């Protein structure tokens, strides 16, 4: 009887806790899937206003274009997991394990690349993922 109450209550509590989980706030301002830029019309400032600054800016080699690269989300650099470990006296204590960063580099897998001409007009757009 008691078990019948505890399980649903625990599940409800767990669900509420999960709803409290947060999303990163340091990513692009808008989901890259949702953005619509117009080649030949959109300007550099428009892209910066809508998405934020790019993860990397490079001048083209052999052309006069400037390339802006965007990752689809912030890079995961580590996890902190609570791990229950046995204490020396038969009690349990919470510990943490930090997994070191997986990768580095500004743009390992760009999801969007914008090319601008010398007048800051978008001349090419590639969604890569």
Site residues (vs other proteins, CB under 8 A): 17-18, 20-27, 29, 45, 48-49, 52-57, 66, 71, 73-82, 101, 106
Least distance between other proteins and beta carbon 90 (Å):
25
Least distance between other proteins and beta carbon 89 (Å):
27
Single out the residue of 99, 94, 73 nearest to residue 82, CA to CA: 94
Least distance between other proteins and beta carbon 37 (Å):
18
Nearer to other proteins, 21 or 86 (CB): 21
Nearer to other proteins, 41 or 80 (CB): 80
Single out the residue of 24, 11, 126, 4 nearest to residue 65, CA to CA: 126
- In angstroms, rounded to a whole number, what is the distance separating the alpha carbons of residues 4 and 20? 25
Nearer to other proteins, 33 or 49 (CB): 49
Nearer to other proteins, 56 or 121 (CB): 56
* CA angle, 31 then 24 then 75, to 5°: 85
Q: Determine how many CB atoms are found less than 10 A away from the CB of residue 56.
A: 15
- Starting at the edge strand that comes first in sequence, how are the strands of the sheet with 56-59 ordered? 56-59, 66-70, 112-116, 122-127
Least distance between other proteins and beta carbon 53 (Å):
4
């Amino acid at each position: 009887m008691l078990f019948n109450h505890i399980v649903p209550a625990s599940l409800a509590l767990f669900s509420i806790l999960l709803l409290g989980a947060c999303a990163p706030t340091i990513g692009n301002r808008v989901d890259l899937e949702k953005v619509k830029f117009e080649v030949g019309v959109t300007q550099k400032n428009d892209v910066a206003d809508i998405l934020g600054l790019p993860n990397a800016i490079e001048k083209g080699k052999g052309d006069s274009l400037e390339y802006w690269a965007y990752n689809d989300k912030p890079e995961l650099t580590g996890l902190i997991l609570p791990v229950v470990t046995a204490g020396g006296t038969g009690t349990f204590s919470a510990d943490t394990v930090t997994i070191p960063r997986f990768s580095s580099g500004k743009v390992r897998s760009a999801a969007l690349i914008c090319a601008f001409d010398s007048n800051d007009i978008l001349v090419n757009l590639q969604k890569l993922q």
